[in-house]
Amino acid sequence: MTTEVEFINVSKTYLNRQEVVHVLKGVSGEVEKGSIVTIIGPSGSGKSTILSLCNLLLTPDEGEVRIQGKDVRNWDIQKLRRRVGIAFQGAPMLTGTVLDNLSLPLRLQGRTLENPKKYMEFVGLTEDHLSRQAKELSGGQRQRLSLARTLVNDPAILLLDEVTSALDSLSAHEVEELILRINREQNTTILWVTHDQSQAERVGDQTWLVIDGRVVEAAPTKQFFVKPKEEQTKQFLELRRGYK
Protein backbone atom coordinates (compact mmCIF):
# COMPACT_ATOMS: atom_id res chain seq x y z
CA MET A 1 0.00 0.00 0.00
CA THR A 2 1.08 3.59 -0.66
CA THR A 3 1.78 5.81 2.35
CA GLU A 4 -0.14 9.06 1.86
CA VAL A 5 0.64 10.81 5.16
CA GLU A 6 3.64 10.16 7.39
CA PHE A 7 4.65 11.59 10.76
CA ILE A 8 8.29 11.10 11.73
CA ASN A 9 9.15 11.90 15.36
CA VAL A 10 7.04 15.09 15.27
CA SER A 11 7.06 17.50 18.20
CA LYS A 12 5.20 20.78 18.62
CA THR A 13 5.33 23.35 21.41
CA TYR A 14 3.36 26.51 22.18
CA LEU A 15 4.26 29.46 24.33
CA ASN A 16 1.39 30.10 26.74
CA ARG A 17 1.90 33.05 29.10
CA GLN A 18 5.67 32.59 28.90
CA GLU A 19 5.29 28.89 29.68
CA VAL A 20 6.37 26.36 27.06
CA VAL A 21 3.62 23.79 26.46
CA HIS A 22 4.63 20.53 24.73
CA VAL A 23 1.57 19.71 22.66
CA LEU A 24 3.07 16.84 20.64
CA LYS A 25 5.99 14.72 21.78
CA GLY A 26 7.69 12.55 19.19
CA VAL A 27 4.62 11.49 17.21
CA SER A 28 5.24 8.92 14.48
CA GLY A 29 2.76 7.10 12.28
CA GLU A 30 1.69 6.31 8.73
CA VAL A 31 -1.63 6.67 6.93
CA GLU A 32 -2.20 4.53 3.87
CA LYS A 33 -3.78 5.92 0.71
CA GLY A 34 -7.56 5.54 0.70
CA SER A 35 -7.78 4.59 4.37
CA ILE A 36 -9.63 6.23 7.26
CA VAL A 37 -7.64 6.81 10.44
CA THR A 38 -9.76 7.80 13.43
CA ILE A 39 -7.94 9.74 16.15
CA ILE A 40 -9.31 9.68 19.68
CA GLY A 41 -8.11 10.86 23.07
CA PRO A 42 -8.83 13.30 25.89
CA SER A 43 -9.44 17.00 25.23
CA GLY A 44 -6.19 18.91 24.90
CA SER A 45 -4.14 15.84 24.04
CA GLY A 46 -2.92 17.17 20.68
CA LYS A 47 -5.37 15.57 18.23
CA SER A 48 -6.30 18.78 16.39
CA THR A 49 -2.64 19.81 16.25
CA ILE A 50 -1.88 16.60 14.34
CA LEU A 51 -4.41 17.65 11.69
CA SER A 52 -3.17 21.25 11.54
CA LEU A 53 0.37 20.10 10.76
CA CYS A 54 -0.83 18.31 7.63
CA ASN A 55 -1.68 21.45 5.64
CA LEU A 56 0.64 24.03 7.23
CA LEU A 57 -1.87 25.67 9.51
CA LEU A 58 0.99 24.84 11.90
CA THR A 59 4.57 23.72 11.31
CA PRO A 60 6.41 21.09 13.38
CA ASP A 61 9.17 22.22 15.70
CA GLU A 62 10.96 18.90 15.34
CA GLY A 63 10.56 15.95 13.00
CA GLU A 64 8.80 15.76 9.65
CA VAL A 65 5.26 15.57 8.34
CA ARG A 66 5.26 14.14 4.82
CA ILE A 67 2.36 14.40 2.41
CA GLN A 68 2.67 11.97 -0.50
CA GLY A 69 6.32 11.50 0.40
CA LYS A 70 7.21 15.20 0.54
CA ASP A 71 7.86 17.27 3.67
CA VAL A 72 5.00 19.74 4.11
CA ARG A 73 7.53 22.58 4.41
CA ASN A 74 8.69 21.88 0.87
CA TRP A 75 5.22 22.14 -0.65
CA ASP A 76 3.85 25.26 -2.29
CA ILE A 77 1.22 26.17 0.29
CA GLN A 78 -1.60 26.70 -2.24
CA LYS A 79 -0.90 23.35 -3.90
CA LEU A 80 -0.71 21.67 -0.51
CA ARG A 81 -4.06 23.06 0.63
CA ARG A 82 -5.70 21.99 -2.61
CA ARG A 83 -4.35 18.49 -2.02
CA VAL A 84 -5.17 18.43 1.70
CA GLY A 85 -8.62 19.74 2.65
CA ILE A 86 -9.85 20.38 6.19
CA ALA A 87 -13.33 20.66 7.73
CA PHE A 88 -13.97 21.81 11.28
CA GLN A 89 -16.59 21.36 13.97
CA GLY A 90 -19.40 23.88 13.61
CA ALA A 91 -18.74 24.46 9.88
CA PRO A 92 -17.95 28.20 10.07
CA MET A 93 -19.70 30.18 7.33
CA LEU A 94 -18.82 33.51 5.79
CA THR A 95 -21.44 36.24 5.43
CA GLY A 96 -23.05 35.77 2.04
CA THR A 97 -24.88 33.14 0.05
CA VAL A 98 -24.31 29.43 -0.12
CA LEU A 99 -22.75 29.98 -3.56
CA ASP A 100 -20.39 32.60 -2.11
CA ASN A 101 -19.21 30.10 0.48
CA LEU A 102 -19.00 27.17 -1.92
CA SER A 103 -16.91 29.06 -4.46
CA LEU A 104 -14.56 30.67 -1.91
CA PRO A 105 -11.62 28.23 -2.28
CA LEU A 106 -11.44 28.80 -6.03
CA ARG A 107 -12.00 32.56 -5.75
CA LEU A 108 -8.94 32.76 -3.51
CA GLN A 109 -6.98 31.17 -6.37
CA GLY A 110 -8.44 33.51 -8.99
CA ARG A 111 -10.50 30.69 -10.46
CA THR A 112 -14.22 30.28 -11.17
CA LEU A 113 -16.31 27.41 -9.82
CA GLU A 114 -17.79 25.42 -12.67
CA ASN A 115 -21.02 23.52 -12.13
CA PRO A 116 -21.74 24.30 -8.45
CA LYS A 117 -24.90 22.20 -8.76
CA LYS A 118 -22.72 19.07 -8.99
CA TYR A 119 -21.14 19.69 -5.59
CA MET A 120 -24.46 20.55 -4.01
CA GLU A 121 -26.08 17.37 -5.24
CA PHE A 122 -23.13 15.26 -4.14
CA VAL A 123 -23.58 16.37 -0.52
CA GLY A 124 -27.36 16.09 -0.63
CA LEU A 125 -28.26 19.77 -1.04
CA THR A 126 -30.37 21.16 -3.88
CA GLU A 127 -29.51 23.82 -6.42
CA ASP A 128 -32.17 26.03 -4.78
CA HIS A 129 -29.92 26.38 -1.73
CA LEU A 130 -27.27 28.27 -3.72
CA SER A 131 -29.06 31.61 -3.44
CA ARG A 132 -29.84 31.28 0.28
CA GLN A 133 -27.83 33.00 2.99
CA ALA A 134 -25.37 30.45 4.34
CA LYS A 135 -25.97 31.43 7.96
CA GLU A 136 -29.66 30.54 7.58
CA LEU A 137 -28.86 26.87 7.01
CA SER A 138 -29.38 24.25 9.69
CA GLY A 139 -26.36 22.75 11.44
CA GLY A 140 -26.48 19.63 9.29
CA GLN A 141 -26.81 21.67 6.09
CA ARG A 142 -23.87 23.89 7.08
CA GLN A 143 -21.71 20.82 7.69
CA ARG A 144 -22.68 19.43 4.27
CA LEU A 145 -21.82 22.78 2.69
CA SER A 146 -18.51 22.83 4.55
CA LEU A 147 -17.66 19.44 3.06
CA ALA A 148 -18.76 20.54 -0.41
CA ARG A 149 -16.58 23.66 -0.07
CA THR A 150 -13.63 21.44 0.79
CA LEU A 151 -14.34 19.12 -2.14
CA VAL A 152 -14.22 21.82 -4.83
CA ASN A 153 -10.42 21.55 -4.68
CA ASP A 154 -10.67 17.78 -5.30
CA PRO A 155 -8.45 16.95 -2.29
CA ALA A 156 -6.66 13.62 -2.08
CA ILE A 157 -6.58 13.90 1.72
CA LEU A 158 -9.37 15.09 4.01
CA LEU A 159 -8.82 16.25 7.59
CA LEU A 160 -11.94 16.16 9.77
CA ASP A 161 -12.01 17.77 13.20
CA GLU A 162 -15.09 16.73 15.22
CA VAL A 163 -17.30 17.41 12.20
CA THR A 164 -20.41 15.71 13.61
CA SER A 165 -20.09 16.55 17.32
CA ALA A 166 -22.37 19.63 17.19
CA LEU A 167 -25.13 17.89 15.21
CA ASP A 168 -28.25 16.04 16.30
CA SER A 169 -28.08 12.27 15.89
CA LEU A 170 -29.92 12.17 12.53
CA SER A 171 -27.78 14.90 10.95
CA ALA A 172 -24.63 13.33 12.39
CA HIS A 173 -25.55 9.99 10.82
CA GLU A 174 -26.23 11.61 7.44
CA VAL A 175 -22.92 13.52 7.44
CA GLU A 176 -21.06 10.39 8.53
CA GLU A 177 -22.58 8.44 5.64
CA LEU A 178 -21.62 11.24 3.25
CA ILE A 179 -17.99 11.11 4.40
CA LEU A 180 -17.89 7.34 3.98
CA ARG A 181 -19.26 7.80 0.47
CA ILE A 182 -16.51 10.33 -0.33
CA ASN A 183 -13.93 7.84 0.90
CA ARG A 184 -15.46 4.96 -1.03
CA GLU A 185 -16.13 6.72 -4.35
CA GLN A 186 -13.07 8.98 -4.53
CA ASN A 187 -10.56 6.86 -2.58
CA THR A 188 -9.96 9.90 -0.37
CA THR A 189 -7.54 9.40 2.52
CA ILE A 190 -9.14 10.63 5.75
CA LEU A 191 -7.77 11.59 9.17
CA TRP A 192 -10.80 11.94 11.42
CA VAL A 193 -10.61 13.36 14.94
CA THR A 194 -13.67 12.34 16.95
CA HIS A 195 -14.66 12.23 20.60
CA ASP A 196 -17.27 9.58 19.78
CA GLN A 197 -15.70 6.17 20.28
CA SER A 198 -18.65 4.40 18.66
CA GLN A 199 -18.12 6.51 15.57
CA ALA A 200 -14.39 5.82 15.57
CA GLU A 201 -15.13 2.10 15.76
CA ARG A 202 -17.71 2.28 12.94
CA VAL A 203 -15.74 4.28 10.40
CA GLY A 204 -12.05 3.70 11.06
CA ASP A 205 -9.68 1.35 9.28
CA GLN A 206 -7.01 2.30 11.81
CA THR A 207 -7.42 4.04 15.17
CA TRP A 208 -4.86 6.11 17.07
CA LEU A 209 -5.13 6.98 20.74
CA VAL A 210 -3.41 10.26 21.61
CA ILE A 211 -2.77 11.10 25.25
CA ASP A 212 -0.62 13.97 26.48
CA GLY A 213 0.90 14.60 23.05
CA ARG A 214 1.92 11.00 22.38
CA VAL A 215 0.41 8.26 20.23
CA VAL A 216 -0.16 5.63 22.91
CA GLU A 217 -1.48 2.99 20.52
CA ALA A 218 -2.10 2.77 16.77
CA ALA A 219 -3.76 -0.38 15.48
CA PRO A 220 -6.37 -1.72 13.08
CA THR A 221 -9.67 -0.42 14.45
CA LYS A 222 -11.26 -3.78 15.23
CA GLN A 223 -8.16 -4.91 17.10
CA PHE A 224 -7.86 -1.55 18.86
CA PHE A 225 -11.33 -1.76 20.40
CA VAL A 226 -11.58 -5.54 20.92
CA LYS A 227 -8.04 -6.39 22.02
CA PRO A 228 -5.94 -3.31 22.80
CA LYS A 229 -2.32 -3.98 23.70
CA GLU A 230 -1.38 -0.98 25.85
CA GLU A 231 -2.51 -0.64 29.45
CA GLN A 232 -3.23 3.07 28.91
CA THR A 233 -5.55 2.18 26.05
CA LYS A 234 -7.41 -0.35 28.19
CA GLN A 235 -7.82 2.23 30.95
CA PHE A 236 -9.02 4.91 28.52
CA LEU A 237 -11.60 2.62 26.96
CA GLU A 238 -12.75 1.37 30.34
CA LEU A 239 -13.16 4.93 31.58
CA ARG A 240 -15.11 6.07 28.52
CA ARG A 241 -17.12 3.02 27.58
CA GLY A 242 -17.05 0.56 30.44
CA TYR A 243 -14.54 -1.55 28.52
CA LYS A 244 -13.67 -4.87 30.17
The H-or-E segment that residue 79 falls in is helix 77-83
Q: CA 44 from chain center: how many Å?
A: 16
Statement: residue 69 has pLDDT above 50? yes
Closest residue by Cα to residue 66 from 75, 58, 57, 76: 75
Q: How confident is the model at residue 244 (pLDDT cuts 50, 70, 90)?
A: very low
DSSP class per residue in 91-123: ----SSBHHHHHHHHHHTTT-----HHHHHHHT
| pLDDT at residue 183, rounded to an integer | 96
The yes or no reply on domain 3-92+163-243 and CATH 3.40.50.300 is yes
Q: Which of 192, 160, 177, 222 is nearest to 37 (CA)?
A: 192
Long-range contacts of 230-238 (CB under 8 A, 24+ apart): 233/209, 236/41, 236/42, 236/209, 236/211, 237/197
Residue 156: its pLDDT value, please? 97
Task: Say whether pLDDT at 243 is over 70.
Answer: no
- Tell which wins on pLDDT, 220 or 122: 220
Share of the chain above pLDDT 90, in %: 75
- pTM for the full model? 0.92
Q: How confident is the model at residue 241 (pLDDT cuts 50, 70, 90)?
A: low
* Amino acid 242: pLDDT: 53
Percent of the chain whose predicted confidence (pLDDT) is above 70: 98
Q: What is the pLDDT of residue 226?
A: 95
- Report pLDDT for 116: 94
Q: Mean pLDDT throughout 127-156?
A: 92
Q: Which range has the top average pLDDT, 11-25, 65-79, 90-104?
A: 65-79
Average pLDDT over residues 140-165: 92
Side chain identity, residue 129:
H
* Domain range annotation of the chain: 3-92+163-243
Q: Stretch 221-226: mean pLDDT, rounded?
A: 97
What is the DSSP pairing of strand 189-193 with strand 157-161? Answer: parallel
Residue 130 has pLDDT above 90, yes or no: yes
pLDDT at residue 128, rounded to an integer: 94
Mean pLDDT computed over every residue of the chain: 93
Residue 29 — pLDDT band, cuts 50, 70, 90?
A: very high
